[in-house]
Amino acid sequence: MGSHQTTTVTTNEKFEFTAGIRKALHIMMGVGIVGLLLVYIFNPENGHARFWSNILLNTYYFTGISLFGLFIVAAAQLAYGGWHTLIKRVLISMGAFSMIGGFLLLFTLITGLLGWHNLYDHVKHILHDHHNEKYTNKHIFFNPPFWVARVLIYAIAWAALSYAFDKFFGEKNQIDPKVYKQSKLLSALFIVVFAVTESFVSWDMVMSLDPHWYSTLFGWYNFASYGCAGWAMSILLVIFLKSRGYLQAVNENHIHDLGKFLFGFSIFWTYLWFSQFMLQWYGNIPEDTNFWVKRFNTGYFKFTIFLSLIINFLFPLLFLIKRSAKRNFKMIGFGAALLFFGHYIDFFNYTAFEPVVREATHDSHHGGGHSSVSQRFTLLAEVHGEHNAPAEKAPTSDVPSHADVHLQNTAAPAHAPKHESHGSHSHATAHFATIGLGELMIFAGFLGLFLYFCFSRLSKRNLIVENDPYLEECKRLTVTWA
Amino acid sequence: MAETTLPNKFVVGLWDHEEVYLHAVEHIRHKGIEIYDSLTPFPVHGLEDALGLKETRLHTAGFMFGATGATLALSFMTWVMTTNYPINFGGKPYWPVPSFIPITFEMTVLFAAWGMTLTYLVRNKLWPGRVPRIYDKRTTDDRFALVFNAENLNEAQIAELKEVCRKEGAVEVKDRVFTPDEQL
């Protein structure tokens, strides 16, 4: 390759959002709408929970990815980074979806509070029963006006910052020292806003699906997860643009840097996944372990949890670690596509399970009495009927006599009351929490929407930020052996 | 690397600018002249490519050291906890894999780090008491050096080599002959 002939390549290319691409994206969005309709019609169980949890999952996932595109720009700008200058516009265009992403999340929340679906039904219990010590002071945090106002603020802040990034890096002369200083301020502002809002939104929209479960690193964890997806998306976009003859100055050195970040974030994600899992497994507090027990007791979620670990950890560890894999467009493209789907599965594990549980709690609610933690445990243990009377099995002080003490035993806290007999309603509803055709169609639809926003913004201006002080440096980027 | 007797007679060209130096390396190699060594005060981006160096295998060694550490840690803890001295900790299984992970991770890092460091030092002959060959002291300050093996070159060839270096922008070209007491 040689690092010097690239300087002659023209930089003022402009991405053309051709009719062909538009058509392809329209088809994807159409597929998504059909998928939503199919899921809505064929899975009316539990207030169309499959439909709504899919909307939440995809909105959250793609908003995260889009915000992460802006985050990369902001972080690199603050760190005097020059390696990404050639693809800065691509990253900023990834941020286009966050113009609407926050509002879609707000829509999901408001419809939930209005009772259109029951993803956030727990709020009713919390508000109704807030003297129950199990809920501590959650009724303050999950007070609907406060809750909605928070999400509204995130949505507005993200849209404003996304717009500001596009405007600022697209129109200002970056080589002007004054503008350069302003770019630092803007980036710092974004980092601060993003750090706070991404944590809060993860609690508001995802962790609160299970109001009894806490994870103190959840915001961080979510950041790492859609971070991986964000790097994967940026790699795929760069490869796509290159395959269509754009971004000629971008070579394997740039993709290598993106690949290294993808690899690094995958390990970072694993670190957080494991930290979260092991502390809860070891701490053995019913409220924590509940989250895992109910998933591990479902064969399907046990499978998806391990699948996400294999794709998101083992695969990058063994495949992306090699320099040659990160420098080969086909190989890194394959890796990025796989990880992009892997982190979808990861979020799926968080958002898709709760509707099943909600069904169980919901039914018990009809049976009279409020659903309490202990009742939920009993119900959960029963959902999959794999344990014979777990309440009796609860090991508190007696030492297990055999080595195969499973995590599942923690499912039944000692204080769990004897459960009344319930129907097999949970078996009837459990089947819809899977990655089926509907999920894939909806995923394709949201991907189409995301790319539509991305390409619209990309085609608005030149593909490369001109007058950037780091442009020359970026063109000569060489990734050394070290 | 495996040769027992190192050459003692060299031509050393010194450059004072990174860019000029990088181009010089490319041009000189293009002419088919073999470069014995290259010394720079700081890492020059693109120099590996220009010199045509092969990819280091150090990271492969690192992976193997790491895998060794991981295997050792996991198998030792497994042996202790299942066979040698099984104890029940807080109702956890006798083979509590999640609680092995942090130690396995540390052992992986420890083995990889020490293994790679020692491999690097041994491979580069940086053991204690070694007398390094210094072609020019300024290569740690502000000069970029190219070293050519002049052992088998005659006077005319050496003169030609020096001329090539000067043409490529070397600010200084000199002979460097190592005396027996400077031997490695």
> What pTM does this model have?
0.81
Flag whether residue A19 sits within 8 Å of chain B, measured between CB atoms.
Answer: no
A46 vs A160, higher pLDDT: A160
Is A399–B88 a contact, with Cβ atoms under 8 angstroms apart? yes
Question: Which domains are assigned to chain B?
Answer: 9-55+131-182 (3.30.70), 58-123 (no CATH)
Q: Minimal CA–CA distance to A144: which of A124, A168, A118?
A: A124
Contacts of residue A399 in chain B, CB cutoff 8 Å? Answer: 88, 91
- Structural domain count, chain A: 1
Instruction: Judge contact between A342 and A312, C-beta under 8 A.
Output: yes
Is B94–A274 a contact, with Cβ atoms under 8 angstroms apart? no
Q: Quick one: closest CA in A to B88, which residue?
A: A399
In a domain, A71, yes or no: yes
Q: What tens digit of pLDDT does each residue of A385-399 get?
A: 444 434 444 444 343
Instruction: Judge contact between B153 and B7, C-beta under 8 A.
Output: no
Q: Distance (Å, rounded) from C-alpha A29 to C-alpha B114? A: 53
In a domain, A4, yes or no: no
- How far does CA B157 lie from the centroid of its chain? 30
- At A422 the pLDDT is 40
Q: Quick one: closest CA in A to B49, which residue?
A: A2
- At A1 the pLDDT is 41
What mean pLDDT do residues A18-45 have? 92
Q: Distance (Å, rounded) from C-alpha A139 to C-alpha A145? A: 11
Q: What tens digit of pLDDT does each residue of B148-181 get?
A: 999 888 889 999 999 999 999 999 999 988 877 6
Optimal mutation site among A282, A320, A404, A479, interface B, most CBs of chain B within 10 A: A282
Q: What tens digit of pLDDT does each residue of A413-446 get?
A: 444 343 433 433 444 445 667 888 989 999 999 9
Q: Distance (Å, rounded) from C-alpha A227 to C-alpha B42? A: 33
Q: Distance (Å, rounded) from C-alpha A242 to C-alpha A452? A: 18
Optimal mutation site among B23, B38, B48, interface A, most CBs of chain A within 10 A: B48
Question: What is the domain extent for residue A465?
Answer: 14-394+406-475
What mean pLDDT do residues A79-89 have? 91
Chain B residues within 8 Å of chain A (Cβ atoms): 23, 26, 43, 45-49, 53, 55-56, 59, 63, 82, 86, 88, 90-95, 98-99, 101-102
Map chain A to HEC letters. CCCCHHHHCCCCCECCCCHHHHHHHHHHHHHHHHHHHHHHHHCCHHHHHHHHHHHHHHHHHHHHHHHHHHHHHHHHHHCCCCCCHHHHHHHHHHHHHHHHHHHHHHHHHHHHHCCCCCCCCHHHHHHHCCCCHHHCCHHHHCCHHHHHHHHHHHHHHHHHHHHHHHHHHHHCCCCCHHHHHHHHHHHHHHHHHHHHHHHHHHHHHHHHHCCCCCCCCHHHHHHHHHHHHHHHHHHHHHHHHHHCCCCCCCCHHHHHHHHHHHHHHHHHHHHHHHHHHHHHHHHCCHHHHHHHHHHHCCHHHHHHHHHHHHHHHHHHHHHHCCHHHHHCHHHHHHHHHHHHHHHHHHHHHHHCCHHHHHHHHHHHHHCCCCCCHHHHHHHHHHHCCCCCCHHHHCCCCCCCCCCCCCHHHHHCCCCCCCCCCCCCHHHHHHCCCCCCHHHHHHHHHHHHHHHHHHHHHHHHCECCCCCCCCHHHHHCCCCCCC
Which of B26, B48, B92 minimises the CB distance to A405?
B92
How many Cβ pairs within 8 Å bridge chains A and B? 58
Amino acid at A349: N
Is A481–B56 a contact, with Cβ atoms under 8 angstroms apart? yes
Contacts of residue A476 in chain B, CB cutoff 8 Å? Answer: 45-46
Instruction: Judge contact between B92 and A405, C-beta under 8 A.
Output: yes
Flag whether residue A482 sits within 8 Å of chain B, measured between CB atoms.
Answer: yes
Touching B: A residues 376-395, CB under 8 Å: 395
Largest CA-CA distance found in chain A, in angstroms, rounded: 77
How close does chain A come to B126, measured CA to CA in Å? 19
b/e burial code for range B141-151 (CB count within 10 A of at least 16 → b): eebbbbbbbbe
In a domain, A6, yes or no: no
Contacts of residue B93 in chain A, CB cutoff 8 Å? Answer: 403-406
Is A482–B43 a contact, with Cβ atoms under 8 angstroms apart? yes
A14 vs A444, higher pLDDT: A444
Is A321–B86 a contact, with Cβ atoms under 8 angstroms apart? no
- At A134 the pLDDT is 65
In a domain, A482, yes or no: no
Which of B45, B90, B93 minimises the CB distance to A480?
B45
In a domain, A2, yes or no: no
- At A382 the pLDDT is 41
Q: Distance (Å, rounded) from C-alpha A60 to C-alpha A121? A: 19
Flag whether residue A299 sits within 8 Å of chain B, measured between CB atoms.
Answer: no
Flag whether residue A409 sits within 8 Å of chain B, measured between CB atoms.
Answer: yes
Flag whether residue A306 sits within 8 Å of chain B, measured between CB atoms.
Answer: no
In a domain, A212, yes or no: yes
In a domain, A339, yes or no: yes
Q: Which tokens in the block code for residue B23? A: 């181009």
Per-residue pLDDT for A189 more than 70? yes
What mean pLDDT do residues A150-169 have? 95
- At A115 the pLDDT is 85
B130 membership: H or E segment, kind and range: none
Contacts of residue A2 in chain B, CB cutoff 8 Å? Answer: 26, 46, 49
In sign, the C-alpha dihedral spanning A316, A317, A323, A325 is negative
> What's the mean pLDDT when you consider all of chain A?
82
- At B4 the pLDDT is 57
Question: How large is the ipTM?
Answer: 0.76
Which of A278, A323, A481 minimises the CB distance to B99?
A278
Contacts of residue A414 in chain B, CB cutoff 8 Å? Answer: none
Q: Which tokens in the block code for residue B80? A: 């202790």
Q: What tens digit of pLDDT does each residue of A336-371 get?
A: 999 999 999 999 999 988 776 665 444 444 333 344
Radius of gyration for chain B, computed over Cα atoms and rounded to the nearest angstrom: 25
Contacts of residue A481 in chain B, CB cutoff 8 Å? Answer: 48, 53, 55-56
How close does chain A come to B158, measured CA to CA in Å? 29
Q: Distance (Å, rounded) from C-alpha B142 to C-alpha A235? A: 39
In angstroms, what CA-CA distances link A462 with A88, A271, A457, B5? 11, 39, 10, 59
In a domain, A277, yes or no: yes
Q: What tens digit of pLDDT does each residue of B92-140 get?
A: 888 999 899 999 999 999 999 999 999 999 998 888 888 778 888 899 9
